[in-house]
Each structure stands twice: as structure tokens, then as C-alpha cells.
Amino acid sequence: MLLLVAFALGCAPQGETGFCDEETPCPGRAQACDMVSHECYVEDFEAHSTEDSPPSDFTGKIVPFFRGQVCAPAEVKSGEPIPVSIDACFHPCLTTTDITFRHFYECIGSSCEAYATMWLVADSVAGGCPADAFGEFDRSMCNTVSVELQIQTNDGADGQNIAGSMLLEIPYLTNADMEAIVAADNDEAVTREKIDQYPQQAGRIPGERAIWVLPHLPSPPATCVGNDGCDCYDIGF
């Protein structure tokens, strides 16, 4: 398991954060500096695909999660793992040769933030893929690829169980971003750099809220697959 230092930023991008210039960059995620007003801002951003003008035929292409469904409990007892299930939607023109997933998290005090990423290595089928194969094709065409993961809550920085909140994000990444992360052997700095190119979007946070992790809460289910102890949310649709 890899750890990625992450600050709890809330469920939406930060707005203006004060003075910036060429020597004082903006501190927030995906922020740019207005060199006239010297204020930080986040540009409007909408993700419609993970690759523009993709080739029709390919082999060994790395394709990250873009759309699908993510299930997780709303509350978890401290010290017990948070189950997460991901049902990712991929175009049927992809022939999967490998499936990989990772999750990363870090806590600042009682606030934790986690990222979950998954991707395929895939070839195009005979006849190739259409132009929208990595975009917003009709949901009825989804070829679902499912994975399960657990986020541990018993390895806080001080050796104690985590007690507080865990904000889970399924970040937007392009095919090129994911390729660079894989090429860097999932290096923490490269992963965070690619994620931080884009503002945090509430729609990529299951339920648009953090998961409570506290000692008095009930134990979570072992899995979210077919379990009513978890809530499921669409991501990217």
C-alpha cells in the first residue's frame, strides 16, 4: 500500500486565497494566479473524456477510471477497515489485459483524505474503437469492471486508530496522466502532481461528504458488494 500526503480540502475547490505573483505561487489545487489582481483563482473545468482524438487501434493502452459506481459505508468504527467497491464503466471495444488499483491517504489531525485510482491495460478489438471510447458514450454500453479495496484506519501517524473523517475521492485522470503515473511506478510525488492539475470535484467524492471514522460507530461490513451497509453513488455520469 502506498501513502500519499493529502490535505483535507473539503468537497469543492478553494476560491481566491490572497496574494500571489511570479515568486509566490498559488497554494491550492489547480489554482492559477491573476497577475493583474495578484489573486488566486480556479478556472472552470469539466471532464468529458480521458483522451481527446484517440487512435482507433491500439495495444497496451492504459485507461483510468472515468465513470462508474462507487460504494462505501457512511460511518466506520475506528480501527476497522473501510470497505470500498468500484464498478468502473469501460467501452466494450476494449479488451482487458490487466486490471490494477491503488489507494492513498494521509491525515492531518482528525481530518483525512484518501484517493482511490484504478486502471486497465487494454487492446482495441478488431475493427478498432470509436471516437468516444474514452468519453461519454451511452451508459447502456458500459462493460463493467469491478474491484474491491479496503482503507485501513488503524495506522495513524501516532500509531493510534484514526478518529475523525475520511474524505474519499476518485480523482479525474487522463490516459496520459495514468500512463505517466504507471511509468513512475506509482511514485507519490508524480501521482499527486497529476491529481493536482485538476480542481477537486464534489461529484467525484462519493456522497459529496466525508466518511465518519469514530470509536463509538458500528463495525463496517467486510465488503460493500451486495451489502446494504454501504451506500452507492454514480461517479462521472
Residues 6+ apart with CB under 8 A from 126: none
- Rounded CA-CA distance 91/76 in Å is 34
**Residues 95-150: pLDDT tens digits?**
999 999 999 888 888 999 999 999 999 999 999 999 999 999 999 999 999 999 99
| Cα 109 off chain centre by | 22
Question: CA-to-CA distance for 144 and 22, rounded, in angstroms?
Answer: 45
Domain chopping of the chain, boundaries: 62-235
Q: What is the dihedral of CA 30, 33, 39, 42, to 10 degrees?
A: -30
Q: Is pLDDT at 11 greater than 50 in this prediction?
A: no
pLDDT in tens, 165-206: 999 999 999 999 999 999 999 988 899 899 999 999 999 999
User: Does residue 39 carry a pLDDT above 70?
Assistant: yes
